């Protein structure tokens, strides 16, 4: 039994009187593509925040590749190989596209403390940044300010940032939200094309995208896991149909 890439044991999050997430236990194997689905308010994003460290879980344990990260801050988890995208596009709007990626590259790099050399002199880092942009198809826009990019292009950039941190585990929160059908197709192709040495945990609302990409699906409802299985199993399950499809 190999160590799971992501392991949640009895994770819960309480906001005052509201139990947003309750007793969630799941394990994602290395290289797996796991999709988290559930109706609005099911607690998917809250669970995500607990795992990424944006928010402190009220109870339970979270492990990345066997290391207990429950008490660690987000930066530490990133150093352990975590990368993420946000549900609402969160990129550096007033900086250029390439500066965005450079920052993602500098995040875990000692050189972020250098004050006596301009960034322009780091040719190798620039090349690396451009390579990362090429993966998502944005290298032509490298020197443009992000504010001038379309929403779809910003989502592509966001994926590039997450990948630039060389993650072992990638958390994607509704990566295709707010995109046009063609943009959606482009992005899901990019995600599908990611190498298997990156484990994927994704929240997705679009059923087609979710079921096409997933190896396994976990269904969340009112903060609890109600089912976990293959895409076919989940699609066929009557309780899921009622909870999820009934709301569509």
Partner 1 sequence: MERKHLIAWSVVAVAIAALLPLVAGPFWVALLTQMFIFGLLALSVDLLLGHAGLFSLCHAAFFSVAAYTTAILQVRYGVSTALAAPAGIVAGTLLGLVFGLSVRTRGVYFILITIALGYIVWGVAYRWSSFTGGDNGVTNVPRPTIAGFELESMTSYYYFMLAVIVLSLLAYRVLVASPFGLTLRGIKTSETRMTSVGFRPNRHLYAAFVLSAAIASFAGVLYVYYNRFVNPVSASFPISVEAVLMAIVGGSGTIVGPLLGSGIVLALRNWVSSFFELHAAVMGLVFIAVVLWAPNGLVGLLASLRANRRAAR
Q: What is the rounded CA–CA span in Å between residue 130 and residue 140?
A: 9
Q: Of 75 and 192, which has the nearer Cβ to partner 1?
A: 75
Residue 176 · residue 204 · CB < 8 Å:
yes
The residue from 9, 29, 72, 103 that contacts partner 1 (CB under 8 A) is: 103
The residue from 32, 99, 183, 237 that contacts partner 1 (CB under 8 A) is: 99
The residue from 72, 95, 194, 207 that contacts partner 1 (CB under 8 A) is: 95
Q: Cα torsion for 242, 24, 178, 148, to the nearest 10°?
A: 180
Q: What is the rounded CA–CA span in Å between residue 245 and residue 239?
A: 10
Residue 78 · residue 169 · CB < 8 Å:
no
Element (H, E) at 202: strand 199-203
Token representation of residue 151? 């929403």
Which of 17-25, 111-119, 193-201, 210-218 is the region at the interface with partner 1 (rule: CB under 8 A)?
111-119
Q: Helix-strand-coil percent breakdown of the chain, rounded to 5?
A: 40, 25, 35
The residue from 30, 31, 39, 107 that contacts partner 1 (CB under 8 A) is: 107
> Shortest approach of partner 1 to residue 18 CB, angstroms?
23
Does position 24 interact with partner 1 (CB under 8 A)? The reply is: no
Which 60-79 residues touch partner 1, going by CB under 8 A?
Answer: 73-75, 78-79
Residue 142, burial from CB neighbour count under 10 angstroms (0-12, 13-18, 19+): middle
Spatial neighbors of 137 by CB under 8 A, at least 6 apart, are: 156, 186
Q: Of 2 and 116, which has the nearer Cβ to partner 1?
A: 116
The residue from 18, 93, 134, 148 that contacts partner 1 (CB under 8 A) is: 93
Mark residues 145-184: x for contact with partner 1 by CB under 8 A, - for none.
----------------x--xx-------------------
Which of 29-37, 103-111, 224-232, 234-242 is the region at the interface with partner 1 (rule: CB under 8 A)?
103-111
By residue count, the chain amounts to 248
Contacting positions for partner 1 (CB under 8 A): 52, 54, 73-75, 78-79, 83-84, 86, 90-95, 99, 102-104, 106-108, 111-120, 122, 161, 164-165
């Amino acid at each position: 039994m190999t160590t799971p890439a992501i392991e949640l044991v009895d994770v819960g999050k309480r906001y005052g009187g509201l139990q947003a997430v309750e007793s969630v236990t799941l394990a994602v194997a290395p290289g797996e593509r796991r999709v988290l689905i559930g109706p609005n308010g099911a607690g998917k994003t809250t669970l995500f925040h607990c795992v990424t460290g944006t928010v402190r879980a009220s109870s339970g344990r979270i492990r990345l590749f066997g290391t207990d990260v429950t008490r660690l801050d987000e930066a530490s988890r990133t150093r352990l190989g975590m990368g993420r995208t946000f549900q609402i596009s969160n990129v550096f709007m007033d900086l250029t596209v390439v500066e965005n990626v450079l920052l993602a590259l500098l995040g875990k790099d000692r050189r972020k403390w250098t004050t006596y050399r301009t960034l322009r002199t780091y040719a190798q880092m620039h090349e690396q940044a451009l390579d990362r942009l090429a993966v998502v198809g944005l290298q032509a826009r490298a020197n443009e300010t992000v504010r001038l990019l379309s929403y779809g292009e910003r989502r592509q950039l966001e994926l590039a940032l997450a990948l630039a941190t060389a993650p072992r585990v990638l958390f994607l929160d509704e990566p295709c939200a707010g995109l046009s059908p063609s943009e959606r197709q482009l992005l899901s192709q990019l995600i599908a094309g990611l190498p298997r040495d990156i484990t994927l945990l994704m929240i997705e609302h679009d059923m087609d995208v979710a079921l096409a990409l997933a190896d396994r699906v976990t269904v969340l409802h009112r903060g609890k896991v109600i089912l976990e299985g293959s895409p076919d199993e989940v699609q066929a399950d009557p309780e899921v149909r009622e909870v999820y499809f009934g709301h569509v």
